[in-house]
A and B are shown apart, each in its own frame.
Chain A
């Protein structure tokens, strides 16, 4: 549900209400432009007053984002967006708080803040621009760069096991995880709306093309020719079916998922798993999040959206209870509490 505490706009808003007067300085063809388009679509649709959005970022190409949307914005320091945004949301729960961050920003230097904001389930929305590279510093490998990839700091190929973002988020007890390709603005807009509705930390991983330093990193999944075959777009309550001819599906056998062709080996549509993003048990969500080629399609859309209390709500509750029960109502009460005497 959209947050009842956040005041709604009395008038319908449009894209233009959030248009910034700043020149967008991303490279032409950068995936960032699509993300900006999706956010510009979704903010007016969410319908909160335009003064009730705050965007916080770290450092990186992706973190330039706050300058390009006309809201309250804070461009922080490398890796710390989640920590800054935690303070914003806890101090001011009446704001809809969005974080724009990169794969390096959130999973290398800011890894600690990233897992802890997720664990606490603070009600913010994280736009994770995953281009599997350090863009701003011109092409060093990141924690999500595939093993073996040659980059400027791995001339012989990387020798590190990359993070799978979904695995990290769910390992940190994430309550909301979605994945979208940067070339499907329609899906991205839908998913961002879902993220806004979720109570708690929503992580939206956007597979973002860095045309300059890591071009076509995701083309085997996102290109026009490959996407139907290699993407499974999840929808709540619908069977996990994909493929050009809608004849591929995901089944659960034993404790593993398998990609199968309907009609072969006696498999019928009834055998195909039905997506339940609200399942509190993350088991299937984890497996969906980890799927990748060549044997599996990559899962897109909202993979997980589970209910749990949020840190910011509980803070308000505790304050209310303390205000009701404590005899200390103001600082004068505090100063004069306990053992005091007159001279």
Chain B
């Protein structure tokens, strides 16, 4: 009989699984998250891959991790410091200890902490034995060894036995969190359906881990995270890149315009290209171009001929696309450009996230070339903003640049599945056959959008291009006043989109001591930090912007209600520069970080507290 264990009930927990690239940590984390979601937790996840594809085994460079933040309340981020760390080798402990809360639980595979492993990780002595982890709740278990033992009856080869140790540790975690094993057992069955011995080995290891945790004394208490209050509905887990791809597909279906994607692979945007390539059954045409320029140019060609043209990329690729962005502006065609931002300049840090392409998005083109700029703010929100970017682009006949980032692209959260029928209508201004009034640059008086005249349609033959054209007739022109008119119209057309976007929301009171301003992917951390201080009674609110160009109509009103404003960004201060330009009547403080890392809640609350205390 095992002793009855205590139950510790927690609001939210951050768990991180770390091991060598080959240890199966991504799968382990994913299964743990799926089970938590089924148990009703809200959650967000983030995978942490090594930059190298095949880093040397058991070195710090080869550590692969998967973090999940789960809670019985609304979860905004994948968390910063972890409460539970699962380490499969010394190198992963070395690489991750700095992200562990004091007093946190560390579950370590003792069998991997042999002399060689310890040395490879750069430790002098065994950290599990030398007392350096005394301030943590350390659970040492010879996981590899125990896994092999549990499988002795199965007569399987050693390699396979070694490979299932991740299931053993997952079993331990399921005991620790008092989870049901069924979902994972079922997953294993489906995944390896044609390899019965693999199914058996993984299932046995999973159960063995669960039972072991039950008996071992080091685990004196279990953790309970109850179901979060969630809106009723159907849910799934989704990453930002997949959500972006699906939002584009939804917009194509809703508008009746086929989707064409022209792209060139680049981290961290490639997953959108790969995801869309899987959905030819929905009629999506996906063209892996020879470079980013061909990616965007093919998308413009597709738009000209009636498709929703899209190109997806990251910073360096956006630089290559600059000239063609201007072409889309002047030809007044729909085009969605998705920039999954990463740390720059140049190749920079491809796998690390940053918000440093905002000024490029706003201003990085020759000539007066205004563009609608939208930023998504969390993995699941990418669906909505990709959809809205497509809608505005088609209805207003102008390119839209959607900014996401690597953290959002790879990260996941729960997504309430919408019905396509409930999504906003999309009505592109398509010219009718034999419309005698048709002229390439005749416009809708309200939106200023020109008509989309599709090749093949009778009576609509026309020519457009990168040379300036006369308004209405669309003839090539260098007339000075016409040029100025066209420049103004193109700008006005973009600015009028402000009439179609929602008002800027404030989280918290509309007046107070401090307004925190953020945009895009920092939403989760800023919400957590501001929420924390609000609960402590501070007069602090948050305005997180998604619509950047144009800004929401009530922006000045939002900014005017506070004694101080601080703009927080993962760059040197790009949005704050833009706000100073657009709304110079306010005084802005700024808080910036450019480390390729997200904000942490603690650093933010410290900064806000300090600002609020200063005279």
A and B bind: yes
Task: Name the contact of A338 in the complex, choosing from B236, B419, B457, B475 (C-beta under 8 A).
Answer: B236
Q: Are B280 and A66 in contact (CB under 8 A)?
A: no
The answer to whether the Cβ of B508 comes within 8 Å of any Cβ in the partner chain is no
The answer to whether the Cβ of B461 comes within 8 Å of any Cβ in the partner chain is yes
Task: Name the contact of B301 in the complex, choosing from A49, A56, A75, A318 (C-beta under 8 A).
Answer: A56
Q: Are B461 and A340 in contact (CB under 8 A)?
A: no
Task: Name the contact of A59 in the complex, choosing from B236, B302, B466 (C-beta under 8 A).
Answer: B466
Residues of A near B281 (CB, < 8 A) are 319, 322-323, 325-326, 328-329
Query: When chains A and B are docked, how far (Å) is the Cα of A318 from the Cα of B233?
Result: 35
The answer to whether the Cβ of B323 comes within 8 Å of any Cβ in the partner chain is yes
Query: When chains A and B are docked, how far (Å) is the Cα of A66 from the Cα of B466?
Result: 12
The answer to whether the Cβ of A90 comes within 8 Å of any Cβ in the partner chain is yes
The answer to whether the Cβ of B327 comes within 8 Å of any Cβ in the partner chain is yes
- The smallest C-beta distance from B110 to any residue of chain A, in angstroms, reads 33
Q: A75-B463, A86-B298, A331-B420 are in contact. Are A323 and B283 (CB under 8 A)?
A: yes
Residues of A near B349 (CB, < 8 A) are none
The answer to whether the Cβ of B485 comes within 8 Å of any Cβ in the partner chain is no
Residues of A near B37 (CB, < 8 A) are 341
Query: When chains A and B are docked, how far (Å) is the Cα of A329 from the Cα of B461?
Result: 34
Residue of B nearest to A88 (CB): B301
Question: Contact flags (1/0) for A51-86 with B, using CB distance below 8 Å?
Answer: 110101101000000110011111111001011111
Q: A74-B304, A80-B297, A335-B417 are in contact. Are A52 and B456 (CB under 8 A)?
A: yes
Residue of A nearest to B294 (CB): A83
Q: Are B246 and A334 in contact (CB under 8 A)?
A: yes
Surface stretch bound by B, among A91-99, A225-233, A255-263, A288-296? A91-99
Q: Are A336 and B297 in contact (CB under 8 A)?
A: no
The answer to whether the Cβ of A11 comes within 8 Å of any Cβ in the partner chain is no
Query: When chains A and B are docked, how far (Å) is the Cα of A190 from the Cα of B258?
Result: 36
Q: B interface, how many residues as a size bin?
A: 35 or more
The answer to whether the Cβ of B426 comes within 8 Å of any Cβ in the partner chain is no
Q: Are A331 and B301 in contact (CB under 8 A)?
A: no
Residues of A near B475 (CB, < 8 A) are 22
The answer to whether the Cβ of A268 comes within 8 Å of any Cβ in the partner chain is no
Q: Are A91 and B476 in contact (CB under 8 A)?
A: no
Question: Contact flags (1/0) for A220-253 with B, using CB distance below 8 Å?
Answer: 0000000000000000000000000000000000
Q: Are A74 and B465 in contact (CB under 8 A)?
A: yes
Q: Are A334 and B282 in contact (CB under 8 A)?
A: yes
Residue of B nearest to A21 (CB): B475
Q: Are B463 and A67 in contact (CB under 8 A)?
A: yes
Q: Are B294 and A112 in contact (CB under 8 A)?
A: yes
Residues of A near B388 (CB, < 8 A) are none
- The smallest C-beta distance from B280 to any residue of chain A, in angstroms, reads 4
- The smallest C-beta distance from B533 to any residue of chain A, in angstroms, reads 30
Q: A87-B287, A339-B34 are in contact. Are A332 and B457 (CB under 8 A)?
A: no
Q: A interface, how many residues as a size bin?
A: 35 or more
Residues of B near A197 (CB, < 8 A) are none
Q: Are B456 and A92 in contact (CB under 8 A)?
A: yes
Q: Are A74 and B249 in contact (CB under 8 A)?
A: no
Q: A76-B297, A87-B260, A326-B281 are in contact. Are A95 and B249 (CB under 8 A)?
A: no
Q: A335-B417, A340-B417 are in contact. Are A90 and B298 (CB under 8 A)?
A: yes
Q: Are A330 and B305 in contact (CB under 8 A)?
A: no
The answer to whether the Cβ of A33 comes within 8 Å of any Cβ in the partner chain is no
The answer to whether the Cβ of B552 comes within 8 Å of any Cβ in the partner chain is no
Task: Name the contact of B461 in the complex, choosing from A71, A336, A339 (C-beta under 8 A).
Answer: A71
Residue of A nearest to B305 (CB): A92
Query: When chains A and B are docked, how far (Å) is the Cα of A56 from the Cα of B304?
Result: 11
The answer to whether the Cβ of B467 comes within 8 Å of any Cβ in the partner chain is yes
Q: A54-B455, A87-B309, A341-B234 are in contact. Are A74 and B301 (CB under 8 A)?
A: yes
Q: Which of B290-328 contact A (CB under 8 A)?
A: 290-291, 293-294, 297-307, 309, 323-324, 327
Task: Name the contact of A75 in the complex, choosing from B34, B235, B418, B467 (C-beta under 8 A).
Answer: B467
- The smallest C-beta distance from B469 to any residue of chain A, in angstroms, reads 10
Residues of A near B234 (CB, < 8 A) are 336, 340-343
Query: When chains A and B are docked, how far (Å) is the Cα of A165 from the Cα of B118?
Result: 62
The answer to whether the Cβ of A116 comes within 8 Å of any Cβ in the partner chain is yes
- Nearest first, the 9 closest Cβ-Cβ pairs linking A and B are A75-B465, A87-B301, A87-B298, A326-B281, A73-B463, A83-B297, A91-B302, A322-B280, A83-B294
Chain A residues close to B by CB (< 8 Å): 22, 49-52, 54, 56-57, 59, 66-67, 70-77, 80, 82-92, 94-95, 112-113, 116, 315, 318-319, 321-323, 325-326, 328-332, 334-336, 338-343
Beyond known contacts A74-B463, A90-B298: 9 more, CB 8 A cutoff: A49-B458, A51-B459, A52-B456, A75-B467, A83-B262, A87-B260, A91-B309, A326-B281, A334-B282
Q: List 9 A-B contacts (CB under 8 A).
A: A56-B301, A72-B305, A75-B465, A77-B323, A84-B298, A90-B302, A332-B420, A340-B235, A342-B234
